[in-house]
């Protein structure tokens, strides 16, 4: 799936990036999530993904605003029972 943010297509990549959990690159319209997060709690990975999506949605927001919103959203979504599906279980 290729998400659309503000009507434009964005790519989500998983890469081995030293010193970063995630990154939002507006000029390239990419969100990069560090591959080491695959070994972290799934809720934390969700928080990082939402954090970077919030940067894409609201580029004028401060890091503090994005950080708080990402934490709140991930807790709400997690508490409601949303979980990542394991690709092996979908087949």
Q: What is the pLDDT of residue 54?
A: 97
Q: Please state whether beta strands 30-34 and 22-25 pair in parallel, antiparallel, or not at all (unpaired).
A: antiparallel
Which pLDDT tens digit goes with each residue over 13-45?
989 877 789 999 999 999 999 988 877 788 898
Residue 1 confidence class, pLDDT cut points 50, 70, 90 = low
Residue 53, both tokens = 């999506």
Which pLDDT tens digit goes with each residue over 46-79?
999 999 999 999 999 999 999 999 999 999 999 9
Global pTM value: 0.84
Q: Which fold has domain 4-81?
A: Zincin-like (3.30.2010)
Which residue stretches of 1-91 are H helix?
Answer: 42-57, 63-79, 87-90
Domain boundaries defined on the chain:
4-81
Identify the burial level of 19 via C-beta atoms within 10 angstroms of its C-beta, where 0-12 means exposed, 13-18 middle and 19 or more buried. exposed
**Has residue 90 got a pLDDT over 60?**
no
């Amino acid at each position: 799936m290729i998400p659309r943010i503000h009507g434009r297509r964005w790519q989500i990549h998983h890469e081995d990036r030293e010193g970063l959990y995630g990154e939002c690159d507006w000029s390239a319209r990419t969100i990069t999530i560090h591959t080491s997060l695959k070994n972290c709690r799934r809720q934390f990975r969700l928080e990082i993904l939402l954090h970077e999506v919030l940067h894409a949605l609201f580029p004028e927001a401060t890091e503090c605003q994005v950080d708080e919103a990402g934490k709140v959203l991930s807790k709400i979504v997690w508490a409601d029972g949303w979980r990542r599906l394991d690709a092996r279980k979908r087949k």
